[in-house]
A and B are shown apart, each in its own frame.
Chain A
Amino acid sequence: MNKILKYSLYDLVRSRWMFFYFGFFLLFTLGLFWLSPDISKVAISMMNIILILVPLIATMFGLMYFYNSREFTELLLAQPIPRQHIFLGQYLGVAGSLSLSFLLGMGVPFLLYGLTASSDIGLFLTLLVSGVLLSFIFSGISFYIALKNDNRIRGFGLAILVWLLLAVAYDGFLLLGLAHFSDYPLEKYALGASLFNPIDLSRILILLKLDIAALMGFTGAVFKKFLGSNLGMIISLIVLLFWVLLPLWSIRRASLRKDF
């Protein structure tokens, strides 16, 4: 598996898309720092990018990589290598290179602006960790979808649908639910519901690190009490890791059963 991971990682790191992705984050982050000295504003803009673009690009890139390397995959399948190693290796290659570009693209400006020594380090660690985890989660989901669908159009359609569901529609349903049951105390429900969506969970984890959390009033206090505690931190990390592991496990299952 390591060998396959190594090859796909090398292959991807040298690809022009990865440079583009890295360059985008680098320029974007540098540009933000250059334009605004206000760290919390920079963080909010970055948060929007991390919550929308990172999942979308991870999804698209995972699909593209899987479909494009199909012939290579078939070649590998003919070799005496366990199947799960092939797919897990490729998946880790994609997720790893995406995370690497993201980490370097955002991390280098942080280092340049000396943020690691400042008090905002917690905030920026949260930004980086949630970006990496989202890359892993969404490239995993896209790999699973690609494995299940040989038809590319169908695969892309499904992946976009899943992204749309988690990034946008989920909040709509949550809002509908909240509005419908507004006569009841809903803090815990809202907390539970946002734990189930990795994008919402990342957003709230980041927001709670910002001053703007004060706007969230009583609900925010309930969240802060839960997510600010060690137990809450551990639970939210476990949930995010669960979101990483779920597609991974599905990939393994699907790859073992698939008939090529």
Chain B
Amino acid sequence: MKTLHIALSALLPLFALFAEANAKTIVVCADCNYCMPGDAIAVAEAGDTILIKPGTYYETNIEVDKALTIIGENFPVIDGQMLDHIITVTADSVSIRGLQVQNVGLSFIEDRAAIRIEKARHFKIIDNKVFNAFFAIYAANSTHGIIKGNEVRGEAVEEMTSGNAIHAWYCTHLDIEDNELYGHRDGIYLEFVHHSRIFGNKSHNNLRYGLHFMFSNDDQYYDNVFRNNGAGVAVMFSKRILMHDNLFINNWGRSSYGLLLKEINDAEIFHNIFDTNTLGIFIEGSNRITYRENDFLRNGWAIKMHGGCTDNHFTHNNFLQNTFDIAAEARGVDNSYDENHWSEYTGYDLDKDGLGDVPFRPVKLFSYLVNQTPESIVLLRSPFVGLLNFSEKASPIFTPTDLMDHTPLMKPFSRDQKIQ
């Protein structure tokens, strides 16, 4: 039995070689035997490669139902003429590379997509361009896929009539990397997506969120840039998410924020930069989260924390030039702020250990008042408010007394420090 096993495993590469030799390449071009990608797919067998030559192909509802490699040469255009789905992948191990897929019409009945992956495993969607699609890349019930290096440009005007650039639903083990996504409703939308990594993406100028998590657990996203979106990233109803080394910049507007945490448990947020957002992090009902070594620069509010947050720990963060550092509606349970650097801190350090000798209270009286009565924001930058903040700082009465950093850092925390 064992010998048979060994013999078989020795033969296996041979089989693979045989299959490789058997796999053929089918060329699609205007004057070829197959002038439409759909025709080529119909005759191809699993393992074949379909090479699409430059040109414009008007076709919709192309179903890839066997393990094919589809490669575009110089970005051939597949144009859906605003009609229907363009490519639907229903088989495992399909890879699509180098296509320009464009013009998918809006539908209120189904989620039409330029490239749709349905119940497939080990798919690769790499280096494609998707322009003006309702949904661009849509994965449902699929696992172990790679969506990499795609450029997705939408022409969304309003949230109700637009779709997401990358949309994943009930998926696991996805790698979404190095994509550039703009002009859609959400840059990346994940619902019930677990054990996935999102990294190196640039998501900007989307109407709603740069990245949107719903009910997705055990994911991580890092090295992404979220710029000029309606709001940077929304993480909702998810557990054990790692968020690090991202840049949240210029998510500025009336109801905008860099990062929204809603009903999030056991997350870790570190090494991120929040620059010029109306709200840096907006936290609601989130528990057991550590925030460390992040930079909050020039935000309206660096942190805004609503009720029901316990065990949020802030350490070694830098809060620089924010209009308000922290707004906390209720005093949370077991939230802590230790060894952060606050540019508003005016204390001293007599024993030169790098830690201020006077605790810092990050909640200003005005920020507290604005939380109580939002309309009092009309007094923003009024001299009276300056006076009020000053007197409250001298002898705190209203602001939460237990919300303070007992050991504020005198100098901004630098990450190199950590290595030593």
**Of B372, B376, B381, the contact of A207 (CB 8 Å cutoff):** B381
CB contact under 8 A between A168 and B383, given known A182-B372, A220-B254: yes
Question: What are the residues of chain A within 8 A of B383 when measuring CB–CB?
Answer: 48, 51-52, 167-168, 171
CB contact under 8 A between A220 and B377, given known A212-B323, A214-B252, A215-B278: yes
Q: A216, B377: Cβ atoms under 8 Å?
A: yes
CB contact under 8 A between A214 and B373, given known A48-B381, A175-B379: no
Q: B378, A221: Cβ atoms under 8 Å?
A: no
**Of B252, B254, B372, B379, the contact of A174 (CB 8 Å cutoff):** B379
Measured as residues with beta carbon below 8 angstroms from the partner, the interface class of chain A is 35 or more
Question: What are the residues of chain B within 8 A of A171 when measuring CB–CB?
Answer: 379, 382-385
- The distance in angstroms between the C-alpha atoms of A223 and B252, with both chains bound, is 18
Question: What are the residues of chain A within 8 A of B372 when measuring CB–CB?
Answer: 179, 182
Interface hits, B213-259 → A, CB 8 Å: 252-256
CB-CB contacts of A110-136 with B at 8 A, as 1s and 0s? 000000000000000000000000000
**Of B253, B374, B381, B385, the contact of A219 (CB 8 Å cutoff):** B374
- Of A6-14, A138-146, A186-194, the one contacting chain B is A186-194
**Of B369, B374, B381, the contact of A218 (CB 8 Å cutoff):** B374
Tally inter-chain residue pairs, CB-CB below 8 A.
86
How many residues from B make CB contacts under 8 Å with A? 26
Interface hits, B368-394 → A, CB 8 Å: 369, 372-385, 387-388
Interface hits, A168-182 → B, CB 8 Å: 168-172, 174-175, 178-179, 182
Residue of B nearest to A184 (CB): B375
Residue of B nearest to A186 (CB): B375
Q: B376, A214: Cβ atoms under 8 Å?
A: no
Q: Is B300 an interface residue (CB 8 A)?
A: yes
- The distance in angstroms between the C-alpha atoms of A186 and B370, with both chains bound, is 13
Question: What are the residues of chain B within 8 A of A44 when measuring CB–CB?
Answer: 381
Q: Summarize A's interface: helix, strand, loop or mixed.
A: helix
Residue of A nearest to B276 (CB): A211
CB-CB contacts of A214-232 with B at 8 A, as 1s and 0s? 1111111101000000000
Q: Is A83 an interface residue (CB 8 A)?
A: no
Tell me which of B252, B255, B372, B378 has the highest count of chain A C-beta atoms within 10 A of its own C-beta: B378
Interface hits, A152-170 → B, CB 8 Å: 167-170
**Of B252, B255, B382, B388, the contact of A217 (CB 8 Å cutoff):** B255
**Of A178, A220, A223, the contact of B373 (CB 8 Å cutoff):** A178
- The distance in angstroms between the C-alpha atoms of A142 and B99, with both chains bound, is 75
Interface hits, B383-420 → A, CB 8 Å: 383-385, 387-388
Tell me which of B301, B373, B382 has the highest count of chain A C-beta atoms within 10 A of its own C-beta: B382
Instruction: Name the distance in Å between A213's Cβ and chain B's nearest Cβ.
Output: 9
CB contact under 8 A between A217 and B254, given known A171-B385, A179-B372, A179-B373: yes
Residue of B nearest to A221 (CB): B254
Question: Which residues of A are at the interface with B, using a C-beta cutoff of 8 A?
Answer: 44, 47-48, 51-52, 167-172, 174-175, 178-179, 182, 186-187, 189-191, 194, 200, 203-204, 207, 211-212, 214-221, 223
